[in-house]
Amino acid sequence: MADATSIEWTDATWNPVTGCTKISAGCDHCYAERFSERFRGVKDHPFEHGFDLTFRPERLKQPIAWRRPRMIFVNSMSDLFHKGVPRAFVDAVFDTMEQADWHVFQVLTKRSSRMRTYVNARYAGKSAPGHIWMGVSVEDGTRLSRVRHLGDTAARVRFLSLEPLIGPIDGLDLNGIHWTIVGGESGPGARPMHPDWVRQIRNRCVAHGVPFFFKQWGGRTPKAGGRLLDDREWNQLPDLPIAAGPERPPRVAAV
């Protein structure tokens, strides 16, 4: 678990699984793969095996020991619903999230159909706890099935990560969506993001009252293009109850 992170829309990361395989064009220049593969073969390094799918059971209980409430991005270096992750291991991750209910857990996947099947079975007849947010990553208009799967998932809080946005997304259905994040690609070979793609999504979010968070334009580095969209930052967060403690007030939607 990382106690601090440069990811603007979360407070910390928790990686009980690392490594993944590519599933669509949004994976082509995966930052997690690029980082992990730098250390392949380095003896005793956490990424000695590069970006191979790796289970880390010793990390399963980490959030329980982290007493100050945080927003935690689950598996920033993997995908919890990868077909190679056994159901029993997914169960163990959810067991911890349910127990550590003073945190907010942000579960983000491209394997949306497996997420829907798992969540709907685990919480049959009800919804997942409100502090476990379920999200899907969508890179262009060809992957809207993930949004439909998310809409069919028994979650109280649903969010979209439209990053890296590499094409327009027409007709985005925001029904039942509580938060939308948009960001451009960064790193070697980064594909440019057209401003009109972002504005189209921003305008749709504003029209439907969905909080909109613009993470970055991207480029050679994540910060290269800055975060301004039409001369302002967009840092909206869901206007929903979020875990809070004496060191942290609740966070609500803000412009």
pLDDT tens readout for residues 28-46: 999 999 999 999 999 999 9
Residue 47 in this model has a pLDDT that exceeds 80: yes
Dump pLDDT digits (tens) for 192-212. 999 999 999 999 999 999 999
Rounded Cα gap, residues 17 and 250, in angstroms = 29
Rounded Cα gap, residues 163 and 165, in angstroms = 5
- Lateral strand order in the sheet of 179-183: 12-14, 71-74, 104-109, 132-137, 158-162, 179-183, 212-216
Residue 19 in this model has a pLDDT that exceeds 70: yes
* pLDDT score recorded for residue 239: 81
* pLDDT score recorded for residue 241: 57
* pLDDT score recorded for residue 99: 98
Rounded Cα gap, residues 18 and 54, in angstroms = 5
- 14: tokens are 């928790």
The more confident residue out of 242 and 136 is: 136
Whether the Cβ atoms of residue 149 and residue 112 lie closer than 8 Å to each other: yes
Ramachandran category for residue 211: left, alpha or beta (phi over 0 → left; psi -120 to 50 → alpha) = beta
Residue 74 in this model has a pLDDT that exceeds 60: yes
* Residue burial 28-61, b: 16+ Cβ < 10 Å; e: rest: ebbebbeebeeeeeeeeeebebbbebbbbeebbe
Q: Stretch 239-243: mean pLDDT, rounded?
A: 60
* 3-class DSSP string for the chain: CECCCCCCCCCEEECCEEECCCCCHHHCCCHHHHHHHCCCCCCCCCCCCCCCCEECHHHCCHHHHCCCCCEEEECCCECCCCCCCCHHHHHHHHHHHHHCCCCEEEEEECCHHHHHHHHHHHCCCCCCCCCEEEEEECCCHHHCHHHHHHHCCCCCCEEEEECCCCCCCCCCCCCCCCEEEEECCECCCCCCCCHHHHHHHHHHHHHHCCCEEEEECCECCCCCCCCCECCECCECCCCCCCCCECCECCCCCCC
The more confident residue out of 32 and 246 is: 32
Residue 250 in this model has a pLDDT that exceeds 60: no
Residue 89 in this model has a pLDDT that exceeds 70: yes
Dump pLDDT digits (tens) for 96-144. 999 999 999 999 999 999 999 999 999 999 999 999 999 999 999 999 9
Rounded Cα gap, residues 44 and 249, in angstroms = 39
Residue 50 in this model has a pLDDT that exceeds 90: yes
Q: Stretch 224-246: mean pLDDT, rounded?
A: 81
Dump pLDDT digits (tens) for 151-187. 999 999 999 999 999 999 999 999 999 999 999 999 9
- The residues pairing with 120 across neighbouring beta strands, listed in sequence order, are none
Kindly report the pTM of this predicted structure.
0.93
Backbone angles phi, psi at 107, to 5 degrees: -100, 115
Tokens 């960064």, residue located: 186
Q: Stretch 63-90: mean pLDDT, rounded?
A: 97
